[in-house]
């Protein structure tokens, strides 16, 4: 447990997290985010940051019900305020319906919605960082995928710490960057964390990231240390890769980050539901922050 927490602390130190900083941690209900919450709760005492959590109820039947229950248990175990964003409550639909309405694969819609909601909540709370539970196996697979397609701009975002664009996007922190899936699982068991092992019914085993993750596991079994070497090198060099070329701009509908014109969330919801839902999502999150007694950035 000391080893695990030392590795998490190292990333927090690298990001210069200090007393009074606000860390918003994304909890999915699975083992990785549960381990992250456990470690961040342990380290909170000595560093003194403020911790809040966010869970997105994706509206995917029994899977979402169990995930939400686990997230609630895990947050309340440590007295961490939890913002629950229920997609059906805000949008009137969950991920399966949004996917049908836009004729896109569920995972592509889901990824886009999650990125938007997590960033919106971090901006509204004025978080110093949005903290994600990606482990070394996830990161190695993402890096290989980006390298395979020579998507160097994505590689520049795959480090343990990414930058904040004030008022538009909050930087990400990945404290489990150098910890494997196995280590994360063992740590969450030792800490008796609450999580669900259920898998989303939409998971696609042939998705390139999932295949690459298995490949990383295979290489690691033949070449122990492969993952740590790959990620250690990437962590040293990711800022050298080219940054996205399009100038960053503000979505005219919701005011958050976009790469030109309306952001992808506003575009997607306009297409599926007839209006851009960014403003409604932001108002919903502000309401949740008020209910939890958390400050809203820009309000006194
Ligand atoms: Fe979302 Fe796809 Fe993951 Fe299910 S498997 S939670 S739809 S990204
Ligand atoms: Zn928008």
Asked whether residue 297 is assigned to any structural domain, the reply reads no
Asked whether residue 239 is assigned to any structural domain, the reply reads yes
8 Å CB contact between 115 and 263: no
At 115-150, the pLDDT tens digits run 999 999 999 999 999 999 999 999 999 999 999 999
Is the pLDDT assigned to residue 261 strictly greater than 70?
A: yes
Residue 169 pLDDT grade (very low, low, confident, very high; cuts 50, 70, 90): very high
* Mean pLDDT to the nearest integer, 275-298: 97
Ligand 1 in contact with 136 (CB < 6 A)? no
Distance of CA 86 to the CA centre of its chain: 16
Residue 243 pLDDT grade (very low, low, confident, very high; cuts 50, 70, 90): confident
At 15-42, the pLDDT tens digits run 999 999 999 999 999 999 999 999 999 9
Asked whether residue 276 is assigned to any structural domain, the reply reads yes
Say which CATH number the domain at 176 has.
3.40.50.620
Structure token digits, residue 42: 């342990």
Asked whether residue 22 is assigned to any structural domain, the reply reads yes
| pLDDT on residue 183 | 96
- Which single residue is written with the structure tokens 């509908």? 253
Mean pLDDT of all residues in the chain?
95
Q: Which atom of ligand 1 is nearest to the CA of 106?
A: 7
The secondary structure of residue 292, as a DSSP letter, is: T
| pLDDT on residue 298 | 82
Is the pLDDT assigned to residue 300 strictly greater than 70?
A: no
**From edge to edge, which strands make up the β-sheet containing 172-173?**
82-86, 50-57, 22-26, 129-131, 172-173
Ligand 1 in contact with 210 (CB < 6 A)? no
Asked whether residue 298 is assigned to any structural domain, the reply reads no
Residue 248 pLDDT grade (very low, low, confident, very high; cuts 50, 70, 90): confident
Rounded CA gap, 84 and 7, in Å?
Answer: 29
Ligand 1 center–CA 267 separation, angstroms: 20
Rounded CA gap, 300 and 298, in Å?
Answer: 7
Asked whether residue 263 is assigned to any structural domain, the reply reads yes
8 Å CB contact between 87 and 239: no
Q: Which atom of ligand 1 is nearest to the CA of 203?
A: 5
8 Å CB contact between 273 and 113: no
Asked whether residue 241 is assigned to any structural domain, the reply reads yes
Boundaries of domain holding 45 = 2-291
Number of domains, the chain = 1
Asked whether residue 37 is assigned to any structural domain, the reply reads yes
Ligand 1 in contact with 215 (CB < 6 A)? no
Q: Starting from the CA of residue 112, give the closest ligand.
A: 1
Angle at the Cα of 31 (from 237 to 292), degrees rounded to 5?
95
């Amino acid at each position: 447990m000391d080893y695990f927490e030392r590795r998490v602390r190292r990333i927090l130190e690298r990001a210069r997290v200090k007393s009074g900083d606000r860390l918003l941690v994304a909890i999915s209900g699975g083992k990785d985010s549960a381990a992250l919450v456990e470690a961040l709760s342990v380290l909170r005492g000595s560093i003194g940051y403020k911790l809040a959590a966010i869970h997105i109820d994706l509206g995917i039947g029994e899977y979402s019900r169990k995930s939400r229950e686990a997230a609630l248990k895990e947050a309340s175990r440590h007295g961490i305020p939890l913002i629950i964003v229920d997609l059906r409550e805000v949008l009137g639909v969950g991920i399966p319906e949004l996917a049908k309405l836009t004729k896109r694969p569920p995972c592509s819609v889901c990824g886009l919605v999650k990125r938007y909601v997590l960033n919106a909540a971090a901006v509204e709370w004025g978080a110093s960082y949005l903290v994600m539970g990606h482990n070394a196996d996830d990161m190695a697979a993402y890096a290989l995928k980006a390298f395979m397609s020579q998507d160097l701009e994505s590689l520049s975002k795959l480090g343990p710490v990414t930058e904040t664009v004030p008022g538009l996007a909050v930087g990400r922190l990945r404290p489990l960057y150098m910890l494997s899936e196995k280590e994360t699982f063992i740590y969450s068991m030792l800490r008796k964390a609450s999580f669900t092992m259920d898998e989303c019914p939409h998971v696609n085993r042939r998705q390139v990231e999932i295949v690459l993750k298995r490949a990383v596991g295979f290489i690691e079994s033949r070449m122990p240390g492969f993952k740590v070497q790959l990620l250690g090198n990437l962590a040293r060099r990711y800022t050298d890769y080219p940054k996205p070329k399009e100038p960053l701009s503000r979505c005219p509908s919701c005011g958050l980050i976009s790469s030109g014109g309306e952001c992808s969330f506003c575009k997607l919801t306009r297409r599926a539901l007839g209006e851009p839902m960014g403003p409604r999502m932001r108002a919903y999150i502000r309401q949740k922050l008020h209910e939890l007694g958390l400050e809203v950035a820009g309000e006194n």
